[in-house]
Structure 1
Amino acid sequence: MVFSDIVMKTCNTKARIYSVLVFCCGLFVLYYWNWQYYNQPVEQTNRGSLKTGLLYLKEEILCSGSIHNSSTAADAKMSYIYPIHNTTYILGDLIHVRIDLFDGSGNRKLSGGDVLRVWMEDKKTSASVSGVASDHNNGSYSVAFRAVWSGKATIKAFLATRREEIVLLYKLYQIYSSLWSIHAVFKGENITERPRCFTRPNTRAQTHWCNLTQENDGFPWYCMKSKNTLTNCDMWIETFSATNIHYELNNSTENTILSWSATNATQGIFRRTVPVVIKDSKLTSKLTSTPIACNRLAPHLTWQRKAPNGFFYNNKWSSLLCNDTLPRTVDAYRHCLKGRTLWLHGDSTSMQFHIRLRSILNLTSHARGHTPVTDTDSTYNFSLSWHAHELPFYHGSQHYPRSTNQAQHIMMDRLPNTTKDIVVLYMYVHFTLVHPDVFRRHIRRLVPSAKNLLARAPNVTIAVRGPHAYFRARRGMLSYWGILYADIWHQEFASLWDKIIYLDFWDLTMAKPSKNFHPHVNTVKQMVHNMMSLLCFRT
């Protein structure tokens, strides 16, 4: 039983829920840290990389509803970033900086839990690389970079998520199930109803529910049942969503905290930066990757978390995990895909991959919003397929038929034993609006289908696309959860690391920051090629 189910079962009456919230008010929320990395220095590995030390507040937060003072929250404009030792380094060195957080009144923060994104860039060479930040749980952070190119560079920091946001969002997940609203359209003769739907029945609502779990490919899905006796649950025909939902917040402070996620991202960028100089070493201007070709890299090595796993130079992504031997040409991509379908199911950020590949391959587009699409090149005998994943999926105001959404395990189960297709499993952005346990449930269901497909179809290629980082997008939609979701992918797929490729784009999107959850088209171009270099012509 997942944690959220336990919470709701023990608080299954309105009175109990309110008593828990009242009891928790004024108490500091108990955090469970990822102690594996807590307060440890960044270590150098035998491959010259850094162990990632990303921290997050784990799922097992016992209660929510604490009252916060937003004026004591961390403020990027008042916080400091500065070098620990010096500002001149040799290519390949570790660069160390420190960050001290202050609130808006200039008072030093004395606790941890805020999430920082730090990167180093050189606009002259269009170079950039992400850093690894370690939280000391006292308002200070140590950050380490690998000096991967020579020349001048500037280190920048972004206050990605304040811990007050996470506590509040977790509270809303438990009470409302979702930060935005999804509606079903029930339609019959002279009757149209548009009730809200949830990943679990809302015990606070005095209403009956349509259990549409079976219709959602086996994933829990409940819609409020109309009081109209002429309406029944079989009338569900369409889905749409809205970005707004009415929250019963305790005070104006909570409303202020909730608004942070929609604040202009530039307000979270530190005013202060750290300039550094990196000198050449052995007459080379940048670090090179290992000699192992990307398509020969053992799958389990793609699941190892070492940072940075690459960097940008001349606006091109240079992998440090493997040697990219795939030409960036139409012919190379066509030859890779010949006789195959590349399945890119998921959300609009996987549709970006579909669109980018379609452009490279000169395919005629048949895409219409979130409607499933398969684009086929009959001359070169390959296809690109996109399909929206199962609910929760926020379609926006446009109405889509039920057939629009389909679970990725259904797609895998339908592939024949003779398939040579490439399957890229991906879920992320839409799940940032619901409780993390929902994401884990959906990822866990992919595992048996992936195992079965690998066992019966020896020529299939399967990859998992991990989360990407972005600044801020819309109310409540934070890439903070990507840190946790990457862990969930690793944990649930641990038994398949030796058979499935993990596409890790966290460092890539940290090095080239994206303000929106949709990465810039040039960033997508690099992500797509990195994916193709790992998946094409595997031996």
Structure 2
Amino acid sequence: MKKILICAIVCSIVTGLTVHLHLNWNTFNLSRGYFQTRGTTYLTEEVIRYGHVSVISLCANAKKSRVSLNHAHKVYSLGEQIQVQVDLYDLYGNRKLTGGDVLRVWMENPETAASVSCRVSDHNNGSYTALLRAVWSGSATIKAFIASRKEEVVLNYMIYQQHGSLWTVLAEFRANNLTDATACSVRQGNSFKTNEWCNFTNENNGYSWYCKKSKIKQLACDTWSHSFSAKNMSFHLNNTERSILDLPLAALKQDVLQSSVRVSVRGGPKGVKLSAPSTSCNALPAEMTWRRTSPNGFFHQNKWHSLLCTDTLPRTIDAYRQCLKGRTLWLHGDSTSRQFKEVLHSILRFPSHSDRHVPVTDTDLIHNFSISYHAHELPFYHGPRHFKKSVNQAQYIMVDRLPNTTKDIVVLYMYAHFVFVHPDVFRRHVQRLVPSVRNLLARAPNVTIAVRGPHAFFTPMRGVLSYWGHLYSDIWHEEFASLQDKIVYLDFWDLTMAKPSQNIHPKTAIVNEMVHNMMSLLCFRK
């Protein structure tokens, strides 16, 4: 008893983090079956900046935490709101007294391969509320998962502030049979020793990029030729920090709460699902795609069903080919963009010449369309393979080069590589895109532009949290606010929350659903 009391006191002292939350409120049209709910909730940067990291035993523990219904009845009608509460406890079984942990709550029925996720509200006292929607008839189980602990987010931010990035990008210099590699960053490590750094901002299309000069005199800055990256961290962590950073490496099942809730949904024969509004997806006004509707869809028989619009695009080769005829689909970004490209090649049955991060545009000469991939600007973590510096190019460069007569489909995307660096870096890169996109829309009336938002992932690599997707989604919304009536937002957060990926790269089956959802919104757009 004495031990428990001491732990509770220590918990309240060590945590020392007053949680402020970013809230997005959505009011839905009740006449169309929607209900009012609270949207994304996450720690603000102001709080993260001054947060503290407590020992791992005081972090939220899935085995001790609980999920329960807020109402006694367990039978609901199709379309009805289901409210559940999640209470977090630490390893010692003590109730968490502050918020800030990021939870995933979802409802599933494995028999019908059905699942739906929701947004979670944080009450800043260790208690969370999730509002789900009964979207199919039959049985369902509601589960919860600790996606990111507050301590993980705070520690990541501390590293960004102090060291610039989680992992290390290296520049390789080559000349006269000499080679050397040095560490790079979005900032100079020491402003008083600027002569020790190569300033590659111009080479990075105007985005800040610095690499340490080689100690080999013959390898001047202009001999930079390739880039690669390492997963190691070039800074010291104490035992507590290391244990916090390694939390995501635990198996997925370890962070799923052991308690769950079973409910039944009535509304017709087993398997009947909620219908979407009659508006076809390609006629859905662009600004509607930017609204934080949650859930914006659900899985049933492993297919994604939108709740924003009716998918009228057949899942056929001919429909996709007709959509792309005479156009190039630009899928620039990172390896997850390349996943989209590979899935489309599989569906459209024409050969791909992709080579990791090497830029490529593949053309189907018979059916007259192309699909293009180009790695976005640095920061970009290439892995151990050494890539020429020319493989990376800012997306605004591609946008500026498109002719006034273009009728191409441009999908703007940045996310995965920016979870390694301070969010201000992401914000600057998105801001630079805006004037180029605005100019293209003004001069090329037949172009179709979309912004692909962040996706959720679980059990990632060391220190890599999809938590930042919440913040980065807001940055897209804020910076593109004046263009939302002209650009489609591809919101895949709910889709990838409903079926989790244990890696930053979604499974192929999930990418298939993401791609079709994208095509249904962008093809034959009215």
Give the drift of 1:227.
3.1
1:283/1:256 CA distance change after superposition, 3 Å: closer
Give the drift of 1:175.
1.0
For residues 147 and 77 of structure 2, what CA distance do their matches in structure 1 show?
A: 30
**In structure 1, what is the equivalent of residue 121 of structure 2?**
134
For residues 476 and 289 of structure 1, what CA distance do their matches in structure 2 show?
A: 38
**In structure 2, what is the equivalent of residue 217 of structure 1?**
205
SS of the equivalent of 1:78 reads coil
SS of the equivalent of 1:74 reads coil
For residues 126 and 270 of structure 2, what CA distance do their matches in structure 1 show?
A: 40
Structure 1 segment 98-109 matched on structure 2, within 5 A: 98-109=85-96
**In structure 2, what is the equivalent of residue 22 of structure 1?**
none
Code of the aligned partner of 1:466:
G
For residues 140 and 45 of structure 1, what CA distance do their matches in structure 2 show?
A: 28
1:421/1:124 CA distance change after superposition, 3 Å: same
Give the drift of 1:248.
2.0
What is the aligned counterpart of 2:55 among 41, 64, 69?
Answer: 69
For structure 2, which runs of at least 5 residues remain unmatched after alignment?
1-12
**In structure 2, what is the equivalent of residue 8 of structure 1?**
none
1:356/1:181 CA distance change after superposition, 3 Å: same
Pair 1:162 & 2:149 matched: yes
Code of the aligned partner of 1:145:
L
**In structure 2, what is the equivalent of residue 386 of structure 1?**
373
Residues 248-272 of structure 1: CA deviation (Å, up to 9, x unaligned): 22x3111111111222222111111
Q: Is the CA contact (8 Å cut-off) linking 1:90 and 1:281 kept in structure 2?
A: no
1:32/1:363 CA distance change after superposition, 3 Å: same
Pair 1:421 & 2:408 matched: yes
Code of the aligned partner of 1:232:
A
**In structure 2, what is the equivalent of residue 437 of structure 1?**
424
Pair 1:477 & 2:464 matched: yes
Give the drift of 1:108.
0.8
**In structure 1, what is the equivalent of residue 221 of structure 2?**
233
Code of the aligned partner of 1:364:
P
Q: Is the CA contact (8 Å cut-off) linking 1:419 and 1:457 kept in structure 2?
A: yes
Q: Is the CA contact (8 Å cut-off) linking 1:181 and 1:245 kept in structure 2?
A: yes
Give the drift of 1:124.
1.1
1:437/1:174 CA distance change after superposition, 3 Å: same
Residues 15-45 of structure 1: CA deviation (Å, up to 9, x unaligned): xxxxxxxxxx9783555421566xxxx9654
**In structure 2, what is the equivalent of residue 90 of structure 1?**
77
For residues 27 and 128 of structure 2, what CA distance do their matches in structure 1 show?
A: 15
TM-score (norm 2): 0.94
**In structure 2, what is the equivalent of residue 527 of structure 1?**
514
**In structure 1, what is the equivalent of residue 478 of structure 2?**
491
Identity %: 57
Residues 345-386 of structure 1: CA deviation (Å, up to 9, x unaligned): 001111110000000001112111111111110001000001
**In structure 1, what is the equivalent of residue 325 of structure 2?**
338
Code of the aligned partner of 2:361:
T
For residues 284 and 518 of structure 1, what CA distance do their matches in structure 2 show?
A: 30
Pair 1:178 & 2:165 matched: yes
Code of the aligned partner of 1:241:
S
Q: Is the CA contact (8 Å cut-off) linking 1:110 and 1:138 kept in structure 2?
A: yes
SS of the equivalent of 2:321 reads helix
Pair 1:402 & 2:389 matched: yes
Residues 381-435 of structure 1: CA deviation (Å, up to 9, x unaligned): 0000011111011000000001111111000100111001000000111100000
SS of the equivalent of 1:219 reads coil
1:278/1:30 CA distance change after superposition, 3 Å: closer
Q: Is the CA contact (8 Å cut-off) linking 1:49 and 1:306 kept in structure 2?
A: no
Code of the aligned partner of 2:105:
V
Q: Is the CA contact (8 Å cut-off) linking 2:19 and 2:99 kept in structure 1?
A: no
What is the aligned counterpart of 2:45 among 45, 59, 74?
Answer: 59
What is the aligned counterpart of 1:449 among 432, 436, 445?
Answer: 436
SS of the equivalent of 1:515 reads coil
What is the aligned counterpart of 1:278 among 261, 265, 278?
Answer: 265
Q: Is the CA contact (8 Å cut-off) linking 1:52 and 1:305 kept in structure 2?
A: no
Structure 1 segment 242-391 matched on structure 2, within 5 A: 242-249=230-237, 251-280=238-267, 285-391=272-378
For residues 157 and 32 of structure 1, what CA distance do their matches in structure 2 show?
A: 22
**In structure 1, what is the equivalent of residue 184 of structure 2?**
197
For residues 93 and 358 of structure 1, what CA distance do their matches in structure 2 show?
A: 40
For structure 1, which runs of at least 5 residues remain unmatched after alignment?
1-24
Give the drift of 1:59.
2.3
TM-score (norm 1): 0.91
Q: Is the CA contact (8 Å cut-off) linking 1:466 and 1:486 kept in structure 2?
A: yes
Give the drift of 1:67.
4.7
For residues 214 and 243 of structure 1, what CA distance do their matches in structure 2 show?
A: 26
Residues 126-157 of structure 1: CA deviation (Å, up to 9, x unaligned): 11100221111000011111101100011111
What is the aligned counterpart of 1:28 among 10, 16, 19?
Answer: 16
Q: Is the CA contact (8 Å cut-off) linking 2:48 and 2:157 kept in structure 1?
A: no
Code of the aligned partner of 1:229:
K
For residues 163 and 134 of structure 1, what CA distance do their matches in structure 2 show?
A: 15
Q: Is the CA contact (8 Å cut-off) linking 1:64 and 1:168 kept in structure 2?
A: no
For residues 90 and 261 of structure 1, what CA distance do their matches in structure 2 show?
A: 37
**In structure 1, what is the equivalent of residue 9 of structure 2?**
none
**In structure 2, what is the equivalent of residue 14 of structure 1?**
none
1:94/1:31 CA distance change after superposition, 3 Å: closer
Residues 201-252 of structure 1: CA deviation (Å, up to 9, x unaligned): 1128967110000000110000011233322111110000001113222x31
